[in-house]
Amino acid sequence: MFVPFIYELRAREVPVGATEAVALARALEAGLHENSLDGFYHVARAILIHSERHLDDFDQAFLKTFRGVEVEAKKLKDELFDWLKEARENLPELTDEERALLEELDPEELERLFNERMEEQKEKHQGGNKWIGTEGTSPFGHSGRAARQGIRVGGKGKGRSAIKTADARLYAGYREDLTLDVRQMQLALRKLRTFTRVGGDEELDLEGTIAATAKNAGELEVVTQPPRRPNTRVILMMDVGGSMDPFAHLCSRLFSATKKSSHFKELRTYYFHNCVYGRVYETERFTDPIRVNDLLHECGPHYKLIMVGDALMAPYELMSPGGSIHWEEDGERAEGIVWLMRLQKHFRRSVWLNPEPQKYWLGNTIENIASVFDMYPLTLDGLGEATTHLMKSK
Amino acid sequence: MSQPFTRFQGTDRYLSNESLESAVNCALVLERPLLIRGEPGTGKTLLAEAVSEALGMKLIRWNVKSTTRAQDGLYVYDTVQRLYDSRFQDKDVSDIENYIELGPMGKAFDADERVVLLIDEIDKADVEFPNDLLNELDRMRFVIDETQREVAAKQRPFVLITSNAEKELPDAFLRRCVFHFIDFPTPELMEQIVHVHHPEMEASLVQQAMETFYEIRSMKRLRKRPSTSELIDWIAVLKAAGVTDVKLEGNLPFLGALLKKEQDLVAFADQLTGGRRWRS
């Protein structure tokens, strides 16, 4: 039980290793779990998990591994009735008739049927579509694939049992691979902060003064130093309009998080549509254009470039010269991808944040752009990785 | 490892639950630091007091600030005092030991009995702070450079670390800790908590206050949602002022005890009037 559980956690990218496994073994040896599955759940969670964002993964892995154990521990009291929390997205292939049939059952009816079937049923049962058990399509039991919420059977009657706790997925909200709010974004962006001491000696260096005075046999010697100042310059370029509309809310949150971050020495924001061509714009309505070449001239390679966009467009918009849907006045008719490569080459550190879910990143223009820019999903995890990437020295 | 040990089971004033007790007991048995995270005001710091009270161990606090360095927790060598004393020659300045002041962590190691060491709000300090503590937390000993004296823990203290999840803590640090996340209490648990703090309160007032509280908490756009400690303070103020009934409306008595940011008060007023218009 133990080892598969650890591997299940690792499969979900929860960082568990030998250290945690050994600690857990010691805790179990000391009898901390009081020989119950509930006890084990709490002990294992305390030791194996190090952050609330993994609690949900833990609950799911626990369910998956210990499902069989729960089946043993069922057939208990009336209190076991609990509405099966069925993730809607897990609905498998049910026939329409089955679904319609199940849809019609109301809760009271369900409970009555349940009691009837409890009478009829003698053995534990898995699969099938009538009996109470696990993994079936009957509205009873748990982990099943009934088309609507049914009655959940299993777990222990007293208090909230481990399986119930795990099943309730109370911690789903703390997952970090979901998209995020402004404050979380700010915290992620805070990693971009660096300080350097530059400028005139304006601050008293207390430690230095004490050390120097002590060395100087007690004769006071004042040492000063320049104050700490933020030293990161950031350029944020955002795709707006068209296919980006569904993500407008998310992007505006990123935008305000970036704007509010006071720890950048300089922040420039520009907009583009679909892909960067000869110029980018200072407003969302595409006024106040600035030529990309001028921008590259003004901003040295030490600026951190953050591109935000879904990177989805018609291939010709990316690949053919003058693919821009806007008419270009000056003769700069390079392909979109060339402009992107120019940007990427110019800056020492750049990232592309993509609000599209990662599973859609293959077989379209996203793939092309990801070959130019280091691309990260626009989620808290993704943003964290992106900022780490931006801070690496090169 | 199978010898009996004293289990922590909460106290009269501190209501715990199975998973919290489990985490505390794990940390006690494994002699690892216990890292507690959760929303502000859910009783992270109070847990240290509860453990100290329940297990009869002395509590040593270390409140971490943004300027705190790991070294401060171990010891401070008061060079200035020594320099100062040397001018008057009325004290023995030849012994550096006189000018070494142990920090909270140093004191916890140096204590004769097992103590509870609370490192409060570790995430306030610099990002590297937890890493600087790793070695000392692991080995529970350190050397004072100036005197070459080694301070080693006679009894490994029970180390409790709280964090507001503001900053990521380093992985190496996390791996050495037992972790517990304090959930926001359910209304039932909250009622018990309120009862523990204000046993003689009228049930009806408590009920009203709780309803109002949860409604305010569910409001959107609040920067800092009120939590347990705010509710308890608020009820205390209501009691002191002799308020007998509370309704959710514009002039809610002592709203300042629940909402502490100006923007939140504005958002509260907005949503209240907005809601009115919508309801009527």
What number of C-beta contacts closer than 8 Å exist between A and B?
83
Closest-CA distance, A191 to chain B, in angstroms, reads 9
Check CB contact of B172 with chain A, cutoff 8 Å. no
Q: Which of A200-204, A253-257, A376-380, B108-112 has the highest mean pLDDT?
A: B108-112
- The pLDDT of residue A147: 35
How many domains does chain B contain in total?
2
Of the two residues A305 and A77, the one the predictor is more confident about is A305
- In a shared domain, residues B196 and B64: no
Residue B146 lies inside a defined structural domain of this protein: yes
What pLDDT shows up at residue B108? 92
> Residue B152 has which token pair?
């080693």
Q: Residues B113, B203: one domain?
A: no
Higher-confidence residue of B245 and A121: namely: B245
Is there a single domain that holds both residue B264 and residue B157? no
- B175 in contact with A, Cβ within 8 Å: yes
Write out pLDDT tens, residues A350-366.
999 888 888 888 878 88
The mean predicted confidence, pLDDT, of chain A is: 69
Looking at the structure, tell me whether residues B152 and B232 fall in a common domain. Answer: no
**pLDDT value at residue B215:** 84
Say if residue A90's pLDDT is above 60.
no
By the CB < 8 Å criterion, does B177 face chain A? yes
Give a yes or no: residue B247 inside a domain.
Answer: yes
Pairing of strands A228-230, A195-197: antiparallel
Give yes or no: residues B174 and B207 share one domain.
Answer: no
User: Who wins on pLDDT, A285 or A349?
Assistant: A349
| CB-CB neighbors (< 8 A) of A30 in chain B | 1-2, 5, 29
Which of A44-53, A259-268, A374-383, B51-60 shows the lowest per-residue confidence on average (mean pLDDT)?
Answer: A259-268
Residues A313-320, mean pLDDT to the nearest whole number: 78
Kindly state whether residue B228 falls inside one of the protein's structural domains. Answer: yes
Whether B141 and B161 map to the same domain: the answer is: yes
Block residue for tokens 């004072």: B144
Chain A residue numbers touching B86 (CB-CB < 8 A) = 218
Which of A16, A32, A36 to probe the B interface (max B CBs under 10 A)? Answer: A32
Does residue A219 carry a pLDDT above 50?
A: yes
Q: What is the pLDDT of residue A261?
A: 63
Residues from chain B that touch A19, judged by Cβ atoms under 8 A, are 175-176
Contact at CB, B86 and A218, closer than 8 angstroms: yes
Same domain, residue pair B172 and B263: no
Does residue B91 lie in a domain region? Answer: no
CATH value at residue B170: 3.40.50.300
pLDDT at B66: 72
Q: How far apart are CA A67 and CA A7, in angstroms?
A: 16
For A41, the closest chain B residue by CA position comes to B19
Q: Is residue B12 part of a domain?
A: no
For residues B191 and B173, state if they share a domain. Answer: no
Does B94 map to a domain?
no
pLDDT band at A109 (very low <50, low <70, confident <90, very high): low
Model pLDDT, residue B3: 41
Q: Are residues B117 and B250 in the same domain?
A: no
Which among A23, A52, A190 is the nearest to B181, CB-wise? A52
Of A1-10, A58-67, B2-11, least confident by mean pLDDT is B2-11
Contacts with A29 from chain B: Cβ below 8 Å: 1-2
Q: pLDDT tens digit string along A11-56?
A: 888 888 777 777 777 777 777 777 677 778 888 888 888 888 788 8
Q: How far is B175 from chain A (nearest CA, A)?
A: 7
Residue B1 touches chain A, beta carbons under 8 Å: yes
| Three-class DSSP category at A276 | coil
Mapped to the 3 state alphabet, what secondary structure does chain B carry?
CCCCCCCCCCCCCCCCCHHHHHHHHHHHHHCCCEEEEECCCCCHHHHHHHHHHHHCCCEEEEECCCCCCHHHHHEEECHHHHHHHHHHCCCCCCCHHHHEEECHHHHHHHCCCCCEEEEECHHHCCCCHHHHHHHHHHHCEEEECCCCEEEECCCCCEEEEEECCCCCCCHHHHHCCEEEEECCCCHHHHHHHHHHHCCCCCHHHHHHHHHHHHHHHHCCCCCCCCCHHHHHHHHHHHHHHCCCCCCCCCCCCCHHHCCCCHHHHHHHHHHHHHHHHHHC
Contact yes or no for B30 and A49 at CB 8 A: no
Show the domain range for B47.
18-71+105-182
Asked whether residue B280 is domain-assigned, the answer is no
Q: How far is B108 from chain A (nearest CA, A)?
A: 24
**Same domain as B253, residue B233:** yes
Which residue from A minimizes the CA distance to B18?
A42
**Contact between chains at B175 and A47 (C-beta distance less than 8 A):** no
Which residues of A fall below an 8 Å CB-CB distance to B? 15, 17, 19-20, 23, 26-27, 29-33, 38-39, 41-43, 45-47, 49-52, 55, 159, 170-171, 174, 187, 190, 210-211, 213-214, 218, 384
SS3 A98: helix
Whose tokens are 């080995």? That residue is: B139
ipTM for this prediction: 0.73
Q: pLDDT tens digits for A187-198?
A: 667 767 666 666
Per-residue confidence (pLDDT) for residue A197, from 0 to 100:
64
- Residue B178 at interface with chain A, using a CB cutoff of 8 Å: yes
CA distance A202 to chain B (A): 19
A20 to B175: CB separation less than 8 angstroms, yes or no: yes
| Beta carbons within 10 angstroms of residue A42's beta carbon | 25
pLDDT at B115: 93
Residues B124, B254: one domain? no
Tell whether the model's pLDDT for residue A136 goes beyond 70: no
* Confidence bin at A141 (pLDDT 50/70/90): very low
Site from A34, A43, A180 to mutate, B interface, most B CB atoms within 10 angstroms: A43
Q: At which of B182, B209, B236 does a domain end?
A: B182
**Domain end marker among B182, B197, B225:** B182
B224 falls within a domain: yes
- pLDDT tens for chain B, 280 residues: list them: 334 456 777 777 777 778 888 889 889 888 889 999 887 778 888 889 999 988 889 999 999 887 788 888 999 888 777 877 877 777 777 888 888 899 999 999 999 999 999 999 888 777 678 888 888 888 888 999 888 888 888 888 999 999 876 666 777 888 888 999 888 888 888 888 888 888 887 888 888 888 888 888 887 777 777 888 888 888 888 888 887 777 766 677 788 888 877 777 877 877 777 654 444 3
Handedness of CA A151, A152, A157, A162 (dihedral sign): negative
Q: Note whether B211 and B253 are same-domain residues.
A: yes
What stretches of A216-291 show up as alpha helix (H) in DSSP? Answer: 248-260
Q: Mark yes or no for CB contact B22/A51 under 8 Å.
A: no
- Domain stop point among B156, B182, B208: B182
User: Cβ distance B212 to B272 under 8 Å?
Assistant: no
Q: Which residue of A has its CA nearest to B25?
A: A32
Is the Cβ–Cβ distance between B80 and B122 less than 8 Å? no
Residue in chain A closest to B167 (alpha carbons) equals A187
The minimal CB distance from B29 to the residues A27, A52, A210 is found for A27
Contact A52 B1 (CB under 8 A): no
Nearest to B80 among A26, A32, A210 (CB): A210
